[in-house]
Each structure stands twice: as C-alpha cells, then as structure tokens.
Structure 1
Amino acid sequence: MKHTFLARARVPALALVVAVSLAACTGGGSDDGSGHDMAGMSGASPSTEDPSGSASEAGAADVMFAQMMVPHHEQAIEMADALLAKDGTSPELVDLAERIKAAQGPEIETLTGWLEAWGAEPAADGHAGMGDGTGDGMMTADDMQALDDAQGADAERLFLEQMVVHHEGAVEMAQAEVSDGEDADAVAMAQAIVDTQTDEIQQMKELLGSR
C-alpha cells in the first residue's frame, strides 16, 4: 500500500514538470528555427509603408495619380523658371511663379517617395510627359519653346494662358484621385491641389483680363 501511495503522489508532480517544460517551449513566443522570436506574428499581414512610416493602402488610382502628377508638376516648375528668368516681369507674376514652385517641388518629392514605397514604376520624366492633346493640360515642346522665346508683356500673357490650361489639367487629375483614390494621404494631397490650383486659375484669369 505504501508503494501504491508513493506512485500516485508522483503523478501530479510529474504533470507539473511536463507543464512547466511545455510553457518554457511555447510561452512568450515561439522560435522559427533561426533564433527569431515569432511572437505576435499570427494573423499578421504584410503592409507597404510610406516614407513617413504610416501603413499604405494604395490602389491603382493612387499609383496613376502619382505617376501622372510628377511630370505634370515638373513641367509647371519649368514654366515658372522660364518666366522668372526674364527681365521686367511684374511682381504679381513673379509671386505667382514662386508660389507654384514652392508648392509643387515638395509634392514631387512626396509623390516620388510614395511610388517607391508602393513598389510601383517611377513616373516618366518631364520631357517624356510632354502634352499630346489628350487633355491633361501638359504643354508640347513647341509650347515650351514659345514661352522661352517670348519677352515682356507677351511672355506674361503666354505664361498665364499656358498655366491656366496646365492647372485645369492638374485639377481634373486630382479630382479623379479624390473620387477613386484609396490612400488617405494621396487623396488629401489631391484635394489640396484642387483647392490651391482652382484659386490660382481664378487669379490668373483676372490677371489676363487686366492685360
């Protein structure tokens, strides 16, 4: 009877040892065989991160928006530089050209960063994106040459006429992103473009009316 009692007493102790051993193997995360803790990995899905570290929810509309807007912005900056290089440009137009550059330069960097983070094809360079009459507002090579060659009041008028068309194309592209985009940051940038460039279109039309 004594031996039977001792055998029964050992059973709970043995169970405790097994339980502790199992806890040591499974508790606090499992090992994937390479020494890396796999805790918290269950049910996790990979996500793309943008340069600021926030998870991206980019879709096809977001990628197209970024790919198209980069060369569009690059051409706007080229147009602004062409005007700023001329002598005697009115202060109103100098201010407008500088504001366009200040707004669109950083947006190009952000858009390019998003494309990299999304694993998407980079945008075409500005010259590859020259206008082809498809309604995106892009100037053709001949348009750009005409602006380069113009001087004085003719240059100011031509810049305003061209930039109104250019902005209208950008607003249309941005409105499509606001409607169809999935990435919250890209949609927010698109809405800012709509608001800013709509105001600038109105200003440019008023300046044209006074000439």
Structure 2
Amino acid sequence: MADSDDGAGSTAASRSSRTVRMRIAIAIGAVLLVAIGLVVGRVTTPTITYPSTLSAEAGFARDMQVHHQQAIDMAMTVREQTTDPEVSQLAYDIATSQGQQAGQMFAWLNLWGLPQVSPSPQMTWMTLPTLDQSASDHGMNMSSTESTPGAGDAFVPGTLMPGMASAADLANLRTLTGVDAEKLFLTLMIAHHRGGVEMAQALVERSTNADVLALANSIIKAQSSEIGYMTELLAARS
C-alpha cells in the first residue's frame, strides 16, 4: 500500500507542477502580448502635429476671430436700428454663426498650445507661400459680385484686414435708423463678407489641416451665398 500511495502522490505532484508551469507560461504569454500590442500601437498610431504659432492656420484662427467680431458688432447694431424682419433675421444669423465659428477658432489655439495674440502683425500669414508655390491672387472671382477694392494686391502685414469697416463707418451706422441703417449695414457687410471669403481662400491655398480647411470652405460657401442675398436686399432699397 505504501508503494501505491507514493506513486499516487508522485503523480499528483507532477500534475500540480505541470499546472503551475502552464499558468506561469500563460501569464508570461499574456504579458508579452500586451507588450507587443503597445509597441504595435505606438508604431501604427499617427503622431498628432499641431500648427506652429507662425503658421497659416494659427494666423487665420487669430485674424478671422477679429474679422468675425466686427461682423457680429455690425449685426447686433443694425438689429437695434431696424424693424425690417429680413434684415433683422439676416443680422441674427450672421451674429450667431460667426460667434460659433470664432469660439471654434479660439478653442483651436488653446488646443494647439498657442497664444491668442500673434507675435507677428496681422495678415502676415497671408504672405506665406502657397502650397503649390505659385503667386497667389486673393481677388474675388465670383460672377455675382464685384471685386473687393484692392483685392489681389500684395498684403501688407499690420494693415487693415480685407473688408474691415472703418471706425467712421461703424460710428455712422450707430446714428442711423430704418432704411438708411439697413443700406449702410448691407453695403458694409457685403464688403466685409468679400474680405472674409478672401481670407478663407488664402488659408485654403496654404493649409492641409483638415479641420481648418473644413471651416474655411464653409465660410467661403456660406458668405458667398449671403453676399448674393444681401446684394438683392440692397438693390431693393436703392
């Protein structure tokens, strides 16, 4: 009986030993799989590269926020000066859409770890080479509108951005009411939109960033459409 018991004990010990070794092997294999997964993940996951502070994307985000803010100010002013439902609704749409876009660009700069204020004069980014290294013509080329005065000329960093209304025009708008306010608002906003489209087109010519390109193209599409609509409203008041 002793020999039988010893054999059974030896068999049990052998099985236990194999079980322990198997568990150790499984554990080691699991660790190796995790390690391989991490290495593969690092190799296959694309590295996110954010725009630099002097890039076209950063310059566009900063300058277009300023450009949008003036449009919002003009829109809110005319809503107080008119009772016309079409102009009032247009002004509301401009203020809300451009406010949302300005917030999006503000958030981009935060995400990119860049200051909201540019270290270089405004519009400097618009003098950067285009992607195809060709000479860029920012002049408007829309059949439904006239060209922006000076469009296509070389930009001088630090000067007034395309389409921006003067301080005198803004002050004048605040003194008018009714049709007079509507006519000045539409005149100023048409020029302002043309400038905004020009700036957005300049970005498209200089960027491969999908998010920024999507916004720039949406600005081109929406503001080009609004230019046509505002031209019709202005003609009806002439």
State if a TM-score over 0.5 links the two structures. Answer: yes
Residue 70 of structure 1 contacts residue 111 of structure 1 at CA under 8 Å; is this kept in 2? yes
Query: Partner of 1:73 in structure 2?
Result: 68
Query: Partner of 2:86 in structure 1?
Result: 92
Q: CA deviation at 1:76?
A: 0.6
**SS in structure 1 at match of 2:94:** helix
Instruction: Say whether 1:188 aligns with 2:221.
Output: no
Q: Distance in 2 between matches of 1:92 and 1:183?
A: 36
Q: CA deviation at 1:178?
A: 1.6
Residue 89 of structure 1 contacts residue 156 of structure 1 at CA under 8 Å; is this kept in 2? no
Instruction: Say whether 1:47 aligns with 2:73.
Output: no
Q: Distance in 2 between matches of 1:89 and 1:60?
A: 43
Once superposed, what is the RMSD of the aligned Cα atoms?
3.4
Query: Partner of 2:229 in structure 1?
Result: 203
Which AA in structure 2 matches 1:136? P
Which AA in structure 1 matches 2:84? S
Q: Distance in 2 between matches of 1:29 and 1:194?
A: 48
Q: Distance in 1 between matches of 2:184 and 2:159?
A: 18
Instruction: Say whether 1:115 aligns with 2:109.
Output: yes
Which structure 1 segments of 5+ residues have no match? Answer: 1-15, 31-37, 49-55
**SS in structure 1 at match of 2:179:** helix
Residue 93 of structure 1 contacts residue 156 of structure 1 at CA under 8 Å; is this kept in 2? yes
Alignment of 1:1-211 (within 5 A): 27=32, 28-29=34-35, 43=43, 46-47=47-48, 60-86=55-81, 88-123=82-117, 134-211=160-237
Residue 197 of structure 2 contacts residue 219 of structure 2 at CA under 8 Å; is this kept in 1? yes
**SS in structure 2 at match of 1:29:** helix
**SS in structure 2 at match of 1:89:** coil
Q: CA deviation at 1:206?
A: 1.5
